[in-house]
Amino acid sequence: MATTRRYDVKDLALAKEGVRRIAWADQNMPVLAAIRERFESEQPLAGFRIAACLHVTTETANLARTLKAGGADVVLCASNPLSTQDETAAALVEEYDVSVFAINGEDNDTYYRHIEAAVDHKPQITMDDGADVIGVLHAHRREQLGDVIGGTEETTTGVIRLKALERDGALGFPIIAVNEAKTKHLFDNRYGTGQSTVDGIIRATNKLIAGSKVVVAAYGWCGRGVANRARGMGAHVIVTEIDPLKAIEAVMDGFEVLTMERAAEIGDIFVTATGNRGVIRAEHMERMKDGAILANTGHFNVEIDIPALRSMATDTREARHLVDEFTMEDGRKLYLLADGRLVNLAVAEGHPAQVMDMSFANQALSAEFIVGNAASLERKVYDVPEDIDTEIARLKLETMGVDIDMLSEDQAKYLASWDEGT
């Protein structure tokens, strides 16, 4: 299909390879494929304009295909300047008739110009991974807020921002917090971030994980995924936390828990997964060993204090692709991966399709839910309805060929009673 759409991608000649890679991911996204088939016949999104600001990956391409199958008019821009797969972007424009504004390695100005281009699409539904489209709409495109019937948010960081907007009474339209669905964060954040983060560190450095000391900042769903996968490959894993409960969990899961100040002296590889800024600071970098590797897997590149690292360095150079070497005054060298951006998407390919299948099934069904319930939704951040979450789990299990037992009538009655005991 030759396109007449608006777009800004690296090179349409990459489309053929993009199609091949999108098909590969599709083989592992059966739940989304089943939704796509139903959407094709029922057209629940017919005529709705959707602006999606997501990582432009093969998995996202299959979501865009699903939204289009449901009748939506979709524009896609990148939710991170380094995560775009250029072949995927080309294929979406050339073969799947989706407007895409995303180029891997785009500078900050281009990144925001692309978001503005998506907002120019006059969306009625927004889909964010980090709340950037919503940010632009609320900051200087407020005249468009009234056109939007609802939006979805993919990630923990975005949900935190949107809840703050809701608390301030400033949220312009209802949001479905896809991240909060169990079929999303229990699998995508944990197993997806876990595997793809370790994958990104290995692709960038080709370092041996076995026997290395890996420091994981934060024991949320992403952090525990990284900690477990690194341990699985033979690392000695140290966790840092600010939450006493999560720290106890980490200890009882068998990890060493230390403050960053102490961990800084010990670690070979540092991974931040906190969603907060200034987690690894100058006072930590001053104590780190020669050769320490610094990576971030949180949404924004603020977790490692990169300006401090730059100002401490007497010399810098690119040691390998996406590996910057910083020489300290005392001669130690520290290595920063992917400019402190999400290492799992900037260096590796993000979460595997098997988990994105459930995340993006939540996205597609939440868009359908917004259309069907627009009249009753308020300007609040909502969880994904439980019946959608449960149905996705049921479908996923079915596609995995796993059968489970069912409650008998007697067992259901027992669980619903309060007066039966020994």
Nearer to ligand ADE, 192 or 194 (CB): 192
For residue 46, the 8-state DSSP code is: T
172 CB burial (10 A radius; 0-12, 13-18, 19+): middle
Residue 206 CB, shortest distance to ligand ADE, in Å, is 22
- Judged by beta carbon, residue 333 or residue 351, the one nearer ligand ADE is 351
Per the rule left: phi > 0, alpha: psi between -120 and 50, beta: everything else, 276 is beta
Counting contacts by CB under 6 A, is residue 363 touching ligand ADE?
A: no
Nearer to ligand ADE, 128 or 305 (CB): 128
Give which of 260, 258, 255 is closest to 278, Cα–Cα.
Answer: 260
Closest CB to ligand ADE belongs to which residue?
Answer: 350
Look at the block and give the residue holding tokens 């230390």: 258
Q: Give Cβ neighbours of residue 132 (< 8 Å, ≥ 6 apart).
A: 53, 79, 115
**Which one, 226 or 257, has the nearer CB to ligand ADE?**
226
Least distance between ligand ADE and beta carbon 299 (Å): 10
Select from 181, 193, 221 the least CA-distant residue to 391: 181
Determine which residue in the list 26, 36, 60, 91 makes contact with ligand ADE, applying CB under 6 A.
Answer: 60
> What is the C-alpha separation between 193 and 297, in angstroms, rounded?
8
CB 343 → ligand ADE: shortest distance, Å?
11
Cα-only R_g, the chain: 22
Residues 83 to 122: which contact ligand ADE by CB under 6 A?
none
**Residue 54 vs 343, nearer CB to ligand ADE:** 54
User: Which residues in the 28-57 window bind ligand ADE by CB under 6 A?
Assistant: 54-55, 57
What kind and span of H or E run contains 73? strand 73-78
Cα–Cα nearest to 70, from 93, 28, 37:
37
What mask of x and - would describe binding to ligand ADE in positions 317 to 356, judged by CB under 6 A? ----------------------------x----xx----x
User: What minimum distance in Å lies between the beta carbon of 51 and ligand ADE?
Assistant: 16
The residue (of 260 and 346) whose beta carbon lies closer to ligand ADE is: 346
Residues within the interface to ligand ADE (CB under 6 A)? 54-55, 57, 59-60, 192, 345, 350-351, 356
